[in-house]
Amino acid sequence: MSSSSPDGPEPVPHLDIADIKADEAEVEAEHERALGVQRAARKEKGQGLITFLWALPGFVWLGFYLLAPLVFIVLMSFWTPDTAKGFVKDWTFHNYGTLLHPFSLNNAYWKDMLRSAQISAIAVAACLIFGFPVAYFLAMKVKKLQYQIALFILALAPFWTSFITRSVAWAYPLMGSHGALNQFLVKIGVSSYDHPLLDTQFTQLSVQLAMIQLYILFMVTPIFFLLAQVDRHALEAARDLGGNWWSTFREVVLPQTMPGIVIGSIFIFVLTMGEYGTVEVISQGAVTTVGVYVHSQIVGTQYPQGAASAVLLVFVLILGVFAITRFANLRDEI
Amino acid sequence: MEAVAPPAPAKTQDRVVTRQYKEPRDWAKWGLSIYFVIFLIFLYAPMILMAILSFQGYYGGVTFPFKGPVSLQWWRSIFQEQVGNQFTNAEAIRAAGERSVWVSLAAGAIVAALSFSLSMAFRRRFRGDGLAFYIILLALMTPGFLLGLGTQIFWKAMGEETSLWHTALGANTVWGIPFGFLVMVAIWNRYDDHIDEAARDLGANAATTFREVTLPLVWTGLFGAFLFGFTLTWNDYDRTVLLVLDNTLPLQIVGLIQAAALRPDLYALGTATTLVSLAVIVFFLIILGVRSRFRRTPVQSVEEELGLGGGIDAEAAEAVVEG
């Protein structure tokens, strides 16, 4: 109908709609702006203070129960031993002198340190070798999520039970010449009670095996979480490009799980190096590790010497962690 | 031409296609399944053997063979002060158990509260957050024995006496906080900040938003943090042993080892404490399961908490929130 009048009022309704749209947009924008200002105001006002207040109690607590004790181990290691009070606050290097003296390199402390390092290194390697297939199975081969979660919880549950109780269960019913393991070996004819195939009666071997059993979950868990995130399409692509099982594993799976392996290794290394109670229970005092050594000094109220031994242990731990992190750049990965 | 073609050949072709895509049997999966079972046996066998040996009769020892008759005698001996004409350690065990329960509950509460507030701080970036994060990691990485030792030295240097409630409790919470903190961080990572924003836009003030919207959505994380604090303290030995004269249960277990004669009551006590730990996890999993079954969408809960039930078209609102 308006086609007959080309210069008629046709543009007007057009403009009107545009106007209405513009108005709507303006109102909308105004609304958004108001909300935005409101939100910005909420964000700005005292946000730093609120964050500070949230962080305060936790860090006061950690300062008192974590940092202060660690600082005081260092301070105590420079104080002078005293037979009556345990220590007096006179500064000295003597506590380190006895430990670091060149002729003391074969004394009990360093022997125990070496034994701990050996147990710890073997535990890390064994946990990796025996734990990786477990994580791989859970992450790659169990397809249904419910089963995956259920089996993972089943594998993880012992973490929430006492390491001391697990050590008791390890050392007494299972290990030793009359323990279940050796009785089984005798039954199948490869061992005897007088000369057991594996001497596990309160021995270093028993401690070594127990460390693997107690700590393997610390390796399985981080590897599992990273394997679960590996892109399945990347695996297919690798296979389509002609990669066999091993090259796919080495080029695709392993690089992506490296951070998990490193985290697990750090955990197991640090925690087994500092282990005390489980070693005492499993070996009944027959195996002395650096933890046992330091403990005996503290129980004997040789606080400064014990503190110096502990500081050197921490130093060794830091060196070890540094060496392990060489295998993967964690900063980039996380 | 093609339209006239009978449908039969198509069927044959289908069959050929399905055959082509048939997966070969996954032998690696079967091998790994068997390995996984062996792994579970390796993990659980010692505890199961211990549990079996705790049901021996009067002449029971600490290794096999099982000396019958099957009885609850050793289980009774950790609860009753006299079994038959034998006096037991029940009194000491009861006292240790009571202390363990109270100190673990306290540690759980402290860990839940502190890891929650720490995780709230970490929802935004702040100056020094990198260092702060490393301090929390340090709490995770410090061997328990060193922490117990340091706490002992710190309190000795201040001239204070160490005790279960003054020092062992604190040392144990330090071990629990990083776990609780990581649980809470995982919760916040999945948490949609828009929900808070929506509540605020609907007129709720900060405190109401926090109490009525945020807390109900994250309480499972809080409960998880509490459980970490509880179970880690309940099971701890290294952090507690230097610091207290009054035994907790793990210290009591070691006390039984150092007693003159090892009897199966050690196994009964060990099994009992393990069962408590496992019961706590199962309880938590049940709660998680129940919660996920009755799970509401964030918008539904915002509506409910603000008393706006039905006032908003939930799906549309969700789309807006998401957009």
- Judge if A272 and A222 occupy the same domain: yes
- Judge if A111 and A205 occupy the same domain: yes
CB contact under 8 A, A162 and B237: yes
User: Strands B86-87 and B82-83, how do they pair?
Assistant: antiparallel
Question: Rounded mean pLDDT of B236-244?
Answer: 80
* Domain region containing A247: 98-333
> Given this model, what pLDDT does residue B90 score?
78
Q: What is the pLDDT of residues B106-122, one digit of tens each?
A: 999 999 999 999 988 88
Alpha-carbon distance of A131 to B13, in angstroms, equals: 46
3-state secondary structure chain A: CHHHCCCCCCHHHHHHHHHHHHHHHHHHHHHHHHHHHHHHHHHHCCHHHHHHHHHHHHHHHHHHHHHHHHHHHHHHHCEEEECCCEEEEEECCHHHHHHHCHHHCCCHHHHHHHHHHHHHHHHHHHHHHHHHHHHHHHHHHCCCHHHHHHHHHHHHHHHHCCHHHHHHHHHHHHCCCCCHHHHHHHHCCCCCCCCCCCCCCCCHHHHHHHHHHHHHHHHHHHHHHHHHHCCHHHHHHHHHCCCCHHHHHHHHHHHHHHHHHHHHHHHHHHHHHCCCHHHHHHHCCCCCCHHHHHHHHHHCCCHHHHHHHHHHHHHHHHHHHHHHHCCCCHHHHC
- Judge if A67 and A177 occupy the same domain: no
With CA atoms as reference, the chain B residue closest to A177 would be B63
Which of A37, A160, A299 is the best mutation test for B, with the most CBs of B within 10 A?
A160
- Judge if A182 and A214 occupy the same domain: yes
> Given this model, what pLDDT does residue B311 score?
44
The alpha carbon of residue B196 is apart from the nearest alpha carbon of chain A, in Å, by 11
- Which residue matches tokens 């702006």? A33
> Given this model, what pLDDT does residue A1 score?
44
Q: Are B302 and B213 in contact (CB under 8 A)?
A: yes
- Judge if A149 and A25 occupy the same domain: no
Mean pLDDT, all residues of chain B: 79
CA angle B282, A210, B97 (to 5 degrees): 45
- Judge if A76 and A163 occupy the same domain: no
Shortest CB distance from A277 goes to which of B63, B154, B237?
Answer: B237
> Given this model, what pLDDT does residue A100 score?
81
Q: Are B250 and B238 in contact (CB under 8 A)?
A: no
CB contact under 8 A, A313 and B146: yes
CB contact under 8 A, A65 and B173: yes
Question: Of the residues A90, A121, A143, which one is the last residue of a structural domain?
Answer: A90
Q: Where are the domains of chain B?
A: 99-322
Shortest CB distance from A162 goes to which of B121, B154, B273?
Answer: B273
In a domain, A2, yes or no: no
Residue B20 has pLDDT above 60, yes or no: no
CB contact under 8 A, B114 and A138: no
- Judge if A25 and A126 occupy the same domain: no
Which of B33, B104, B146, B248 is the best mutation test for A, with the most CBs of A within 10 A?
B146
Measured CA distances, A152 to A134, A138, B25, B40 (Å): 10, 7, 24, 11
Domain count, chain A: 2
Q: What is the pLDDT of residues B182-236, one digit of tens each?
A: 888 888 887 887 888 888 888 888 888 888 888 888 888 888 889 889 988 888 8
- Judge if A136 and A256 occupy the same domain: yes
The alpha carbon of residue A72 is apart from the nearest alpha carbon of chain B, in Å, by 5
The alpha carbon of residue A321 is apart from the nearest alpha carbon of chain B, in Å, by 10
CB contact under 8 A, B267 and A66: no
pTM of the model: 0.78
Which residues from chain A sit within 8 angstroms of residue B235, using beta carbons?
Answer: 160-165
The CATH number for A103's domain is 1.10.3720.10
Exposure letters B80-99 (e unless 16+ CB within 10 A, then b): eeebeeeebbbeebeebbeb
> Given this model, what pLDDT does residue B22 score?
59
Question: Of the residues A27, A55, A90, which one is the last residue of a structural domain?
Answer: A90
- Judge if A264 and A129 occupy the same domain: yes
Shortest CB distance from A295 goes to which of B141, B145, B174?
Answer: B145
Residue pLDDT tens, chain A, 334 long: 444 445 555 555 556 777 777 788 888 888 777 777 666 665 656 678 888 888 889 999 999 999 999 999 899 888 888 877 778 888 888 888 888 876 665 578 888 899 999 999 999 999 999 999 999 999 888 888 888 888 888 888 888 888 888 888 888 888 878 888 888 888 888 888 877 877 777 888 899 999 999 999 989 998 998 888 888 888 888 888 887 878 888 888 888 888 889 889 998 998 899 888 889 888 888 888 998 988 888 888 888 888 898 899 988 998 998 888 886 655 454 4
Which of B149, B194, B234 is the best mutation test for A, with the most CBs of A within 10 A?
B149
Q: What is the pLDDT of residues B53-109, one digit of tens each?
A: 888 877 777 777 777 787 888 888 888 777 777 777 778 888 888 889 999 999 999
Residue B293: pLDDT band by 50, 70, 90 thresholds? low
Question: Rounded mean pLDDT of B256-272?
Answer: 82
In a domain, A3, yes or no: no
Alpha-carbon distance of B51 to B48, in angstroms, equals: 5
Q: What percent of chain B has pLDDT over 70?
A: 81
- Judge if A294 and A192 occupy the same domain: yes
> Given this model, what pLDDT does residue B4 score?
55
For domain B99-322, say whether CATH 3.90.180.10 is its number. Answer: no
**Contacts across the A-B interface (CB distance below 8 Å):** 254
Which residues from chain A sit within 8 angstroms of residue B138, using beta carbons?
Answer: 66
> Given this model, what pLDDT does residue B306 score?
57
Alpha-carbon distance of A282 to A153, in angstroms, equals: 27
- Which residue matches tokens 């994580």? A135
The alpha carbon of residue B306 is apart from the nearest alpha carbon of chain A, in Å, by 19
> Given this model, what pLDDT does residue A3 score?
47
- Judge if A223 and A251 occupy the same domain: yes
Is the ipTM here above 0.85? no
In a domain, A116, yes or no: yes
- Judge if A126 and A202 occupy the same domain: yes
> Given this model, what pLDDT does residue B309 score?
46
Which of A35, A164, A315, A325 is the best mutation test for B, with the most CBs of B within 10 A?
A164
Question: Of the residues A56, A90, A124, which one is the last residue of a structural domain?
Answer: A90
The alpha carbon of residue A137 is apart from the nearest alpha carbon of chain B, in Å, by 6
> Given this model, what pLDDT does residue B218 score?
83
Q: What is the CA radius of gyration of chain B?
A: 28
